Amino acid sequence: MKTQNGSAVKSAARAMDIVEHVALQGPVNARGIARATGVPESSLSYLLATLVDRGWLAQAADRTYSAGPALARLAAGSQAPLVDRARPVLRALSAATHETASLFIRRGYEIEVLEVELSTHDLRFTPQPGQRMPLHSFAGGKALLARMPADELDAYFRESARSRFTEHTICEEAALRREIADCRARGAAVSLEEHSAGVNGVAVALDDMHSVSIAMPSARFSPAIEAHTIAALKDAAAGLGAG
């Protein structure tokens, strides 16, 4: 049967040839892989970089390649860590929305950036891995507040210091509880210039500890964009097995 995308099929076949050769032969350099598989060197560097990025291969300091952690997990029947599974999802999210996509983890009453895929726009939000922000002012944090059970949420309001970052920051308990109720109703959190002037965010929770978000300048935000972004985030969450 003739394929509609012969180039894609050829790349997939070459990638599998590379992985099979490395898995069988042990550490081998790029020249040895090219010689054994017949993959042209012009294509090989891209394929090797992709396979290393996805964890199918690992590159040592001497520039040889060996089987990567993804192969070991596959053999053991275990699932890749969330950060590893999220990377291609964040890339797809950023491509679908043309904005910055981020993965967060909850650290007490803050969220920490775990992984980021930056927008290609010159004007963009640029969080850094390891950066922390309070739950109440970020969409990624509000999505996790909406997942808290009642007793934990009560403790949060008793104990947290909710600073005001802009005139739009929601700090008061009654107003923030209404916002959390709205998050639960729509299945997503929205932050409208609540942490940084000129920056809006939309997020969904993946579980009780992780959330994924899209951030964009207010100038590119609209109700239609909000709806499109929420749909894209929910699809991404489903793909990551959010529960």
Report pLDDT for 211.
Answer: 96
What is the predicted pLDDT for the residue at 40? 85
Q: What is the pLDDT of residue 78?
A: 56
pLDDT at 41: 79
Q: Which CATH architecture has domain 6-76?
A: Orthogonal Bundle (1.10)
pLDDT value at residue 215: 97
* Domain extents in the chain: 6-76, 82-239
Please, what CATH class does the domain formed by 82-239 belong to? alpha beta
Report the C-alpha gap between 159 and 76 in whole angstroms.
Answer: 43
pTM beyond cutoff 0.85: no
Mean pLDDT by 10 residues, the chain (243 residues): 57 86 84 87 85 85 84 66 85 93 95 94 92 96 96 95 96 97 96 96 96 96 96 90 70
Task: Supply the pLDDT for residue 77.
Answer: 59
